[in-house]
Amino acid sequence: MRWFNRLWLSTMWLICGSLSAQETHPGDPSALSRQDSLQAMLLTSKAVRQAIGSIQPSLVTIESFGGVSVVQGRIGGIRKQGEGNTTGIIVSPEGHIVTSTFNFIQQPPVITVITSDGTRHVAEMLGRDDTRKICMLKINANREFPKPDLVPLDQLKIGQWAISLGVGYGDVSPAVSVGIISATNRVGGRAIQTDANISPANYGGPLLDIEGRLLGICVPLNPQSQSIGAGVEWYDSGIGFAIPLAGAEELLSSLKQGEQVFPAFLGILAMPNPDGKGVWIEQVVQGSPADQAGILREDVIIEIDGVEVRDMMQLRQILNRLQAGMEIELTLIPDETQEPKTLKLTLDRPPPPKGEPAPLEVPKIR
């Protein structure tokens, strides 16, 4: 089927090219008429529809029943999570479904899934990765599901077509948005970036290439924050993220086993170092990895895993690339000795949030 699509597209091009060469500008194949360029754009729309058609058997609608928001007030930039259904993608013949953790902020006690043939199944929540905002569901259906084709990571190119799909607006048929890949290595190498519309309408849904292969799972992300709803404030802004599943076999199998991945937590409150490079520690959280490693107030961190920590921003970036359970090497200048020393410590998961996380407001447009 795929080879046929490709062949068909390029054949159309050859025809377009040769027609214009013969009819409008004899002998000059580079001259394309206005009609040809229109044809080209009309063909893209056709290709988009074919891409949607080829992923449809893997696309599911997720329904949540009950559940009260664990977050009071606003989530990220929007007032609260919508009431509608959300999107997921079947990734194994046995009925494993990858979707976004955003869809379960309200922690519904019951989740059901409607597959593309219209049947409804009760779903079980398995593992979740809070650093990528994806999670794994499982349904038991007495049939095998198709496995979506994944785009290999080395084939990702900035500028290639990206098509986002989601059923969040309520229709059985998914809403589509077309854009391009804007960057291939974002948020600590976890995500690809796209300018196709990404919003609660398609979080958990697929980002496809023009051939209908899976580029990634649409999620809200913000490289500066790992709070539960971070990234929603950028919905439909032209800055959207998707988590590629190619090369993530290990992660997926651990999620299938119910494992959880948490953001990294070091346990320090830091400030810019008034005396130069590095970050100055204002406070160490009791019992945290930093505390256990013997880091003290007024020490200055200058290096993590061989990467120089110049400022607060960089510290945050480095920590965002890591996750709980990882061992790191941290170099600091203790306030007492002023002699650089290197410590090894294992990152922990952050303590549960007290009250609501700092809200990130959408700028008001008047």
Partner 1 sequence: MIPILRSLKKNLVKVAIATFLVWSVPNGLDGSSNLVQAQIDNHVSQVFVEANQRMVKVYGASAGRVEGYATGFLVSDDGLVITTQGVFLDGNRVRILTSDGVEHAASVIRRDRERQLALLKIDVENASYFSLADGDVGDKGDWIIAISNAFKVADKEEPLSATLGVISLRTAMEARLNRRDVAYKGELVLIDPITSNPGAAGGAIVTLQGKLVGMIGKIINSSDTNTRLNYAVPTSILKEFVANEVAPSKSVTSKQSPVELGIRLFTHGGRSGPAYIDRVRRGTPAQRAGLKPDDLVISIGGEKIGTVKEYEQVISGLTVGQEVIIVVKRGIDLIRQPITPVEKKP
Nearer to partner 1, 58 or 87 (CB): 87
- Alpha-carbon distance of 296 to 294, in angstroms, equals 6
Q: How many residues bind partner 1 (CB under 8 A)?
A: 78
Least Cβ distance, residue 114 to partner 1 (angstroms): 10
Query: At closest approach, how far in Å is the CB of 81 from partner 1?
Result: 6
Of the candidate spans 24-32, 92-100, 253-261, 333-341, the one that interacts with partner 1 by CB under 8 A turns out to be 24-32
Site for partner 1 in 320-339 (CB under 8 A): none
* Cα-Cα-Cα-Cα dihedral sign, residues 198, 201, 205, 211: negative
Nearest in space to 172 (alpha carbons), one of 272, 67, 288, 52:
52
Residue 27 makes contact with partner 1 by CB under 8 A: no
Q: How far is the CB of 252 from partner 1 (least distance, A)?
A: 23
Residue from 66, 274, 306, 352 binding partner 1 (CB under 8 A): 66
- For the CB of residue 265, give the shortest distance to partner 1 in the complex, in Å: 29
Alpha-carbon span 280 to 332, nearest angstrom: 10
Phi, psi of 198 (to 5 degrees): -125, 125
Binding to partner 1 (CB under 8 A): which residues in 94-153? Answer: 108-110, 112, 120-122, 140
For the CB of residue 143, give the shortest distance to partner 1 in the complex, in Å. 16
Beta strands in the chain (DSSP E): 59-65, 86-90, 96-100, 110-114, 120-129, 134-139, 161-166, 175-186, 191-194, 206-208, 214-219, 240-243, 260-261, 268-272, 279-284, 300-304, 307-308, 327-333, 341-346
Angle between helices 2-19 and 34-55 (to 10 degrees): 170
Q: How far is the CB of 242 from partner 1 (least distance, A)?
A: 16
The stretch near partner 1 (CB under 8 A) out of 10-18, 147-155, 242-250, 272-280 is 10-18
Residue from 59, 126, 134, 201 touching partner 1 (CB under 8 A): that is: 201
DSSP 213-226: -EEEEEE--BTTB-
Can residue 60 be called a binding residue for partner 1 (CB under 8 A)?
Answer: no
From the list 328, 337, 263, the residue with the least C-alpha distance to 300 is: 337
Tokens 């080209």 correspond to what residue? 40
Least separation, in Å, of the C-beta of 214 and partner 1?
18
Query: What's the burial of 81, exposed, middle or buried (CB within 10 Å: 0-12/13-18/19+)?
Result: buried
- Which structure tokens are listed for 262? 């948490």
Q: What is the contact mask toward partner 1 in residues 278 to 317, using x (rule: CB under 8 A)?
A: ----------------------------------------
Binding test (CB under 8 A) with partner 1, winner from 3, 4, 27, 65: 65
Q: Smallest distance from the beta carbon of 150 to partner 1, in angstroms? A: 20
List binders of partner 1 among 151-190 (CB under 8 A): 159-161, 168-171, 173-180, 182
What is the amino acid identity at position 283? Q
